[in-house]
Every structure is written in structure tokens, then in C-alpha cells.
Chains A and B, each alone.
Chain A
Amino acid sequence: MQIDYKGIGFKCGLEIHQRLATSTKLFCSCPNVSPSDREIARVERQQRAVAGELGSTDRSSKFEESKKRRFVYVVPSETSCLVELDEEPPHEVSKEAVEIALSVARGLGMEIFDELEPMRKEVVDGSDTSAFQRTIMIGMNGEIEVNGMRIAIPFASLEEESSGIIENNDEYALYDISRLGVPLIEVDTSPDIPSPAAAKDVALHIGTLLRLTGKVQRGIGSIRQDVNVSIRGGSRVEIKGLQEVGVISEYIENEVKRQLALVEIMAVLKSRKASVGNPKDVTSVFSGTASQLIKRSLSSGGRVIGMPLYKFEGIIGRELGEGRRLGTEISEYAKMAGVKGIIHGDEDLKGYGITEGELASLHKSLGIKKGDSFILIAAQEAQARKAAGLAASRAEMAMTVVPPETRAAINDDRHLTRFMRPLPGGSRMYPETDARPIQITKALLDKADLSKPQLEKEFSALKKQLGSEKLASEMIMSPRLQLYREILSSTKVEPSTLANVLLQKFTELKRNGYDADSIGAEKLAHVFGAYSSKRITKQAIEELLKRLSSGGEKNVDMLISDGLERFSREKVISIIKSEFKSERPEFLKKAIMSKYRLNIDGETLESVTSCL
């Protein structure tokens, strides 16, 4: 299906979050990462809504909601201190992080004001020990040009990374605070990206600009792209958790299709004058049921709650994306109450072990006729009723609105999303009174201008360095650009050899199950240093990378001396004399290389054999 994006009122904007590779966190002296981190304690906290603006009833009910859950924080030895634990006020903001952020803001053509004001953004899910995130607006009103499109960048901020979630259940959420407080740059585009394909280009462009600073973290999770998508008649939906920018357009396209399907469903339901009925206890219908699912629930004292969906027949089963139906979405809402799922009328009920007879008495009990549908929820009564209420709210929305939601990317090759939570209203922000405002001096701005990422300039420099436009354009877009520069600055390896290894070889290795990206920059520099000083051959580079990427602490020198040393001319001659003296000349080179491919480079062999 070819979609006319302009025609459907497509709106799309990006929020790019990139972690910075600073020596410390944003508001304390802890390192961002540490190889020797270990758990030294667990701290348990409770948080409550402290909204002064809410009415008192809201207040207590909100509290009731929040008091059930505890937050447990795993405390790492190296990457946390009392600041992460909310046991000490923040330190001075990291100058390094501010400088990188200013440099990015300049690279995005933004206005930077005279004083940056640290703010607190209230966070309620426990991912911040303080119950707020510190965030600083860095600039406004920027613009970038991507493939001839002008995309406005209205906003960029410097903020603290949140904790990583380890475990989440009804009782508690377990968080790792090692990444809490790592500086993060957020860059937002305006919502006028014209198509899913363009969104990918814009994301790549911004990612490249950020990497050009040379001061960003690499690896999984270090950059996140959140996408906001809506169409006419639909609603703004935020997609989080997109791990690879390469498939961003597929997710956006599928979200558009989902909203188109929901808009269509809305029209059908409206024309049918559909409605959602009241939940009813229908346990008696299933008193002698053979359905395992229902039986299990009833035997533990549960009830079955049914809810009529008048004139919904055929709609709950309607597909919104591969394998995902309106019923899936209704079920996701119901699951917020802690139930396992729902059964609905558009499903194959025999599959659940529900008989025709049960179905007939269910219809009677719920007062539904042909053309109607229903939902069943089997659980403890209070839970089932709560779930029914949530399901009803989603079913009602199907008739009136595409719900504004935050959705999570499901990371498989269908590129679909699932419901996370309703789209939050504007977060409450208030000044971080424990941190000083940051004065923006002319010296800071000059420095930012000097260091700002400049795509064109960098590209032509790379082109010159690599002698290939193709290689240069791949390298500049690559997440390994920073690595490329680091290795180049510390070794004498030829740029094109290095670029080829980092681009092609790394991808090839990854395809074959070797995670070359897990090898640290220092070790890689060591490998290329060994190559450029002729200690190893070009072929041995790949072998070394394989051995280094299979995990564990490995010493490059030891790996080299374990059969990967390059043979000198003299050694090659002596090997030929001792091991290959009876080899026929036309097979000699092949025979030698099949045994010593990793140790002898072609050039040496050529020069030796040509003298024989």
C-alpha cells in the first residue's frame, strides 16, 4: 500500500537522546562507566506524588496508587555516590558536558541565551532516586538541512540519564543506578518531517552531528530515538525504545497504518451506533466449564466478568498490524490491572474450551444479539472488575479517538509497537535550587563555535583522507567514527585500511556472531599499532578481532604471540627451505599460504618466491 503522507496529514517529529562520554556524570564526580563496578548495597525507597496543585482527594488517591510500589536500587561501587542515592546535594554541573552541549547547539544553529537554568522535571516511576530529573535547556530555534529538507530544531537540552530498570512487578521495581546522572543531550525536531523515510535520514543526520563532537558514548543504549507520529483524525503517539535507527521508518510506517486502521474502525463503529455495555458477573455461566483457563481462575476463588460490546462484531478481531488486533490493544489496557489477558467474541472460543451452550447462555446473560460482541475476564473479582473498567475505556476510545499514547517498540522484524502508558501531560518543571545557573560567557560561545560539529567540512576532510567518497560517506555516518579518529590519532595505520576494517570487517564479524563493538578503543589501537609496525599481517587483524570479541579479559600481545606473529623475510625463506623444499614451484605459494595465511603477507611471499 502506497501511502500519500501529505494527504493523510502525516506529522512526525523526533527526540534524539545521546549519552555523552564525559569523564564524570552531570552533577557529581562519579565516572560514567567503570569496568570494576560491583554491587555494594541495595537501598529501598518509596516515593509519593507531591503535587501542590492537586486537590486533596486527588492527592490521597494518587498516594494510594503510589504507595503500593517500592523502588529498590542496586548501588554500584564505582559509578555511584551519595548524589545518585539522593543522599547529597548535586555538585557543580560538569563543565565538560556543558561545553559539549553548547558545541552541539551551535552545530544545530541554535540560539544560546545568557544564563542556563537547571530545572527539575518531576518523574514518578522511580527511575530517578530524587523523584525528578535535572534538565537544562541549552538552546532554541535551530535548524538543519537534510537532503535539501529544512528541519527546525526548536529545542535542545542537557539532562541526566535515568536509572536502568532490571525488574518490574506489581510490588516493586528494581533499578540499577550506575547510569543515573550520566549526561544526556536531547535534540528535538519540529513535527514537520514529511515521511517515514525522511525521519530516518533526519535521525541519521542528527546522530552523525552528535558523533562528530567526538564526545559521545557508543554502544547499545547510548543513543535513543523517540518518534512522535500522528495523522489527521488520529492522535499523537510517542514511540520509545527504538534501538536501531535503520528501521525507524518501518516503525513509523506501521504506526501510520495502525492509526489509519483505527480511524477506519472509528467510522465503522460510529455508523453502526456501537456502544459499550456494563460489566456483569457471569461466573454462573461457567460453573461446569471445561475451559482450562476459566477453571483455573475459578478454582482459586476468581470470578468471570463479562462485558457486552454492542455492534462490535468483527471489529475486535480486526488487524491493526501483523498479528495485532484491536483486541490486543484492549487486552493491553486490561493488563494494567494485573490480569493475564482477556477473551473476546471475535476469537475462536472453542480454542479456549468454551462450548456452544456456554456461549448461548453467555449471550443471554449479557443480553447481546447477533452483531454484538463481548469481553470476558477471569480473575479475582476486584482485579477482574478493574480490568473490565480499563478494557471498557479502551473499547470506548475505539469509537471516538485514537488514544494518545506512549508506545514501546517491539524489537522483532515486524516493527510494531505495544501500549506502554497514556501520553503524559506536560511534566511539571520547577527550578533546581540546589544547582547554580550557568553563565554563558563569550569565551564559552567562542569555544563552542570552534568545536561545533560541521558535517560538510568533516566530510570533505574525510574524503581527502580516505581517497574515496563512498568510504568517506559511510565513515561519517558510522557510529564508529569516533573510534576511527581515536585509533588514527594513536597509530600510523593507513586511514583507508582502518576505515575498511571498521566498516566492512566489523559488520561481517557481527553477522558471524562476533561482537567486535565490544572491544575497547585502547585494545583496537593496540591491534592496529601492531599492524602498522608490521608485527602482524593484515589477515591477522581479523583473527585477532575474533579472539578479542569472544569476551573475557584478553591481552593483545599475548594473543599475538600465540601464533599470530608476522614472519620476516628471513623466516619465510627458512620455512620454505625446511618445510616446503619438495613442493612443486607452481603450488608453492598456495601451500605456504594455506598453512601460514595469518603470518605471512602476500608482498613478502611474492618477493621471496620471485627470488627463488
Chain B
Amino acid sequence: MSGKGNQSPSDGDYVNYSHGLASLLESSGIKPGDRIRISYKGREIEGELMPKPEIGDSDVLVVKLDNGYNFGISYKKAKISLVSTSKGTISFPKASVKNHGGLPKVTMIYTGGTIGSRLDYKTGGVYMLAKPEELLYEVPEISELADMDVVPLMSVASEDMSYLEWKRIAEEAAKAANSGSTGIVITHGTDTMHYTSAALSFMLDGIGVPVVLTGAQRSSDRGSSDAFMNLFCSVAYAAKSNISGVGICMHASSSDDKCMFIRGTKARKMHTSRRDAFRPINDLPLAFIDSKGVVSPNPAASVGAAGERPRNFKPKLGFEGKTALVKIFPNSDPEVLEFYIGRGYKGIILEGTGLGHLPVSTPHKEFNWLAKVKSAVDSGAIVGITSQCIYGRTNSNVYRNLRLLSNTGAIHCGDMTPETAFVKLGWLLGNHKREEVPALLGKNLVGEINERIRYDQFLV
């Protein structure tokens, strides 16, 4: 929520200040953080010059008064002089992970995102944590659950992630599992966390340990942040659960009482800002973890038996980057498929309507997708069809239009979310022969397709 910039507070002294103001400050030898005196309408006000946020009038100086309040004043109306130079910014206390020893070893892989962002209390600038250990420092009680090993892998906001990052995360997780970790926690930005969780579900199939993705909807600089409980519950799950495999662990409700663990291929961010944004789709939570760290597997959820822990697990890291996710809507132009095929795309997931419809019997020819889908399939691309309903299963038989579509060779993707189907297709194309892919796309591999949707698996 509060900014996602990856900007360090020391980036450039006069960032966002106008040229005129910046040169005035520079020539007076004043830098943000310095104490200055402002003469204004016959009065003098002292305060500390603040760095300028991205918004606001760039001719306006932002000054912090001794009472803690900031105000802005145009440099054209005031005389500014230096009182004393900055005593330096407040430094974050040295963070170190305190391990008690004798507890399960949990590896935390830090990738960035709100959960790893921190506020410079002085300036209000949000930047990524310099050291991921600082996150543990925020939640000291984690040291009661596990001996932590922290891996600062990258600092990438979730909207900036790609499959190249997924591969790096999967590699790191495999390395941790192979070096004896009982469980793995991956801190991640929330926006695309469900894409990453789906990708890791395929890449890390058979890893034999719990792999938990977690994040925060409120940055950890505020006392009300959800980061603390999310992290605590994730470590608890990673340390204690005997369910292996990938999932997301975040708030179960708006309250800070428990988190839930959702299968990595069945999770989706369903709210822009709430703590409990991640919900299981066509599935139930696999487990609940309360704020004291007690893990309760959900007896109603179907979980495969925990696999043997392999000796030297090798992740399947292949991924076809030329895979696209395309949304169908009224008036949508089927020529977009030609664009993708022309660019060498090997797989396309269409987010259809309802049961998995595309416009195929349109009164107006320019909106008809049938021929374009057929020629995409004929050219060798895999075309999968999902539903923008999100919940429920697609079908290729109920209506004539569905049958027409199915005859083109496009594959309906069962009850997979569009995001999971998209990730799965990319992964299949990266690890399997082209001819194996159509059959595998519609087949359940790692829990991504639920053959039996229960009544209570809707709006969970």
C-alpha cells in the first residue's frame, strides 16, 4: 500500500525539488536533513529540511518542525539559511538472527515486496529492507519456532517478477531442501504471489518439504501490519507441517487470529487491499495456523500423502517464456492471436466467459474467434481455455458453441484459474515435448485440477 519504489533514501540529494530550488539549496550548502532557518513575513521558523516526495509542488520546501509536524513553503516567498548540518539519519538497529539451536531449520528466502519494505520514519520514504534479517527482528518470537537461515535472494516488487525470477527462487528453495531445511518460507510481494506459487508448485513438485509463500498487505513499519502474524504463522507451518509442497500462508480473515495455508495452484489474490485477500479457488484451505503457531490441518481438505524426502532433489526449472494470457470480452479482436503467433508464442491461455466460451457464432465476422483459434492451433501453438468466472469448471460439450471451439483443438482447462493454467502451460512447454502438452494440460499433476468440486468450495 505505501509505495513500492525501490529507492534508497540517499538517492540524490534534491530529488523531486525544482531546478530553481535545488540550485538555491546547493549554493547555500543545504542538504535534506540539515537544520534550516526560514524567514517568512517577518518571522523566523526553524526546522529540518526534508527530502521531497514524488508529489506536490516542486518549488515547495518540506520542513519538519520540532513538534514533529511537516509543512511546505514556497522558496520564492521565504529566505532560507543553514543553521547546522545533519547529524545523520537514524540508523536501523543491527539485526541478527538469534537461533536457539535444536529447533527445526527453516530457510527464509527473501524476494522483496511490501513485507520486505520499510519506512524511513524521518522522510516517509519507503524502501526495501537492506537486510532481510530485519524482518525477523520485527518478529522475535520466530526464534522460538525454528532455527532460521535467511537468504537475501533478490529485492523485486511482485508486479516486476517474471519467470526468470521464479526459476531463481525455485533453485534456491531446492538448494535449501537439499541442505537439510525442514521447511522453506519465501517472502514475496502479494500482487503476483499466486503466479509464483503456481510456478513453484510445478517446478518443485516432489521437494518433500513445505514451501510457504507469504507477504503483507500493510507494510511492516506500521504497528497494525499483517506482516508479523503472516511471517510467524508461515514459519510455524514450515517448521511443523508434514504436508510437503507449495502454498500461500496469509490471513484467514481480517482479524489477527489465524492464517490459512492455501494450495499453491489453487490460490488467488481476490482483493486489492484486505489482509485476507488470498482465497482458495475451487478448493479449501489445507490448514489453519493460529497466532500462537498451532498448525491445524483442515480435515475437509484433500491432501496427498507426504512424499518421501528425496536425497538430491532436482527442480524442473524449464519454462516457455513465450506463453500468453489473453482475456476475452465483448468486442474483443481475435487478431490479437495472430500478433502472438507472429511473435513466436508457443502457448496461449484464453480467459473465456462462463463455461469457457469465446465468441464463435457472432453476427459480426470481425468479432469471431473461431478461425483464428483454429489457425493458432494448426500453426502448432497450444491454446487453453479457462473462465473469467474464476470459480467453477470449464466445459467443452454443453453448448454447440463450446463444441465448435473444442473441435479447433483448443483445450478446456478444467477448474484451473486462468493464472494457474497460464503458468502450467508455460511450465509444460518448458519441460515436455510439444506433443505431450495437450494431454498434460487437462490432467491433474500437482493438485491444480480438482476433479470433484465440493459445495463448500465456493467463496471460501
Contact = CB atoms under 8 A, between A and B. Distances in A.
Interface of A: 43-50, 52-56, 59-60, 63, 70, 82, 85-89, 111, 113-117, 119-122, 124, 129-132, 135, 137, 140-141, 155, 157, 426-434, 436-437, 439
A117 B291 CA distance: 36
Given A111-B41, A114-B60, A137 B69 contact: yes
A70 to B, nearest CB: 8
Contacts of B218: 86
Given A119-B69, A429-B69, A55 B225 contact: no
B70 to A, nearest CB: 4
Contacts of A124: 223
Contact of A117 (B69, B257, B274): B69
Q: 9 closest pairs, A vs B, by CB?
A: A115-B72, A431-B124, A131-B223, A429-B68, A117-B70, A137-B69, A47-B223, A44-B255, A437-B56
A43 B256 CA distance: 8
B397 interface: no
Interface string B211-224: 00000011011111
B69 A130 contact: no
Contact of B224 (A45, A117, A437): A45
B256 A45 contact: yes
A363 B73 CA distance: 67
B307 interface: no
A197 B220 CA distance: 48
Interface of B: 1-3, 40-41, 43, 45, 50, 53, 55-57, 60, 62, 65, 67-74, 77, 90, 92-95, 118-119, 121-126, 137-138, 140-141, 217-218, 220-225, 228-229, 253-257, 272-275, 291
Contact of A119 (B40, B70, B77, B141): B70
Contacts of B68: 119, 121, 426-429
A416 B237 CA distance: 53
B92 A132 contact: no
B123 A44 contact: no
A89 B2 CA distance: 8
Contacts of B272: 88
Contact of A47 (B220, B224, B275): B224
A431 B40 CA distance: 23
Contacts of A113: 71-73
B231 to A, nearest CB: 12
Contacts of B94: 56
Contact of B119 (A49, A53, A433): A433
B273 A88 contact: yes
Contact of A122 (B3, B138, B223): B223
B255 A45 contact: yes
A111 B43 contact: yes
Given A52-B90, A82-B274, A89-B273, A43 B254 contact: yes
Task: Count chain A CB atoms within 10 A of each CB in B2, B68, B92 and give the residue with the most.
Answer: B68
B310 to A, nearest CB: 38
B273 A82 contact: yes
A426 B67 contact: yes
B223 A50 contact: yes
B69 A63 contact: no
A54 B95 CA distance: 12
Given A429-B69, A434-B1, A131 B257 contact: no
Of B57, B118, B224, B253, chain A has the most CB atoms within 10 Å of the CB of B224
Given A124-B223, A155-B67, A117 B62 contact: yes
Given A60-B140, A115-B56, A115-B57, A129 B93 contact: no
Nearest to A437: B56
A275 B209 CA distance: 62
5 contacts: A52-B121, A111-B43, A115-B62, A433-B2, A437-B60
A54 B77 CA distance: 39
Given A44-B256, A46-B229, A115-B62, A431 B70 contact: yes
B232 to A, nearest CB: 11
A79 B257 CA distance: 24
Contacts of B56: 115, 436-437, 439
Nearest to A90: B1
Nearest to B271: A87
B47 to A, nearest CB: 11
B8 to A, nearest CB: 15
A59 B228 CA distance: 14
B229 A56 contact: no
A115 B65 CA distance: 14
A437 B126 CA distance: 16
B225 A50 contact: yes
A152 to B, nearest CB: 12
Most B Cβ at <10 Å: residue of A115, A129, A432, A434:
A115
Contact of A157 (B69, B141, B255, B256): B69
A52 B95 CA distance: 11
Given A52-B90, A59-B93, A121-B68, A114 B62 contact: no
Contacts of B217: 87
A50 B57 contact: no
A55 B93 contact: yes
Contacts of A427: 68
B271 to A, nearest CB: 8
A54 B138 CA distance: 12
A565 B118 CA distance: 69
Nearest to B274: A87
B141 to A, nearest CB: 8
A129 B53 CA distance: 25
Contacts of B228: 46, 48
Nearest to A85: B254
Nearest to B1: A89
A50 B138 contact: yes
Given A87-B275, A157-B69, A429-B68, 4 more contacts: A43-B255, A47-B223, A137-B69, A430-B121
Contacts of B140: 59-60, 63
B55 A114 contact: no
B144 to A, nearest CB: 12
A608 to B, nearest CB: 69
A366 to B, nearest CB: 40
B2 A434 contact: yes
B213 to A, nearest CB: 21
Which of A56, A122, A135 has the most CB atoms of chain B within a 10 A radius of its CB?
A56
B256 A141 contact: no
Nearest to A129: B224
Contacts of A117: 62, 69-72
B128 to A, nearest CB: 15
A236 B126 CA distance: 36
Instruction: Pick the most buried of B121, B126, B141: most chain A CB atoms within 10 A of its CB.
Output: B121
A28 to B, nearest CB: 13
Contacts of A137: 65, 69-71
B212 to A, nearest CB: 21
Nearest to A86: B224
A52 B50 CA distance: 19
B223 A431 contact: no
Contacts of B273: 82, 87-89
B43 A114 contact: no
Contacts of B71: 113, 115-117, 137, 140
A477 B273 CA distance: 46
Nearest to A54: B93
Nearest to A63: B140
A56 B138 CA distance: 10
Contacts of A89: 1-2, 273
A430 B1 CA distance: 16
Contact of A131 (B53, B93, B141, B222): B222
Contact of B53 (A47, A428, A437): A437
Contacts of B55: 436-437
Contacts of A135: 69
B61 to A, nearest CB: 9
A239 to B, nearest CB: 20
A46 B290 CA distance: 13
Most buried by A among B90, B119, B125: B119
